[in-house]
Amino acid sequence: MGQLKNGALTLPTDTTHKNLPALREIQKACSIETIYHQVKSLLDGNESVAKKAAIFLCHKHTETPLKEIGAHFGISDSGVSLASHRFSETLKRNRKLRKKIGEIQSHLNL
């Protein structure tokens, strides 16, 4: 993990440290509700696509457990993984949607 130098713990700069409590708190700053609200507003009321996009973004950019994401959207934890994967595949094929999702990520600083 880290090394002790001059009485201070230094962390390697080449790895992500998701186990650090401070980083977890920063990552949780963007809640499921915040993501869903932003997605709905920028996708012009397309409820079905907004839900799929929000699930994808929550899964990809938060440390929120799949069960919690699923509970919010009324699906199982495995359903979250499947929906996220399917939406990722859709983004590969749909340039316009990929651009919108990029805008949402920019607005949310994801």
Q: Which long-range contacts (CB under 8 A, 24 or more apart) does 3-6 make?
A: none
pTM for this model (two decimals): 0.72
DSSP strands (E only) in the chain = 3-5, 8-10
Domain boundaries, the chain: 32-107
Tokens found for residue 17? 């440290």
Question: Is domain 32-107 classified as CATH 1.10.1750.10?
Answer: yes
- pLDDT band of 102, cuts 50, 70, 90: very high
67-101 residue pLDDT tens: 999 999 999 999 999 999 999 999 999 999 999 99
Q: How many CB atoms lie within 10 A of CB 80?
A: 24
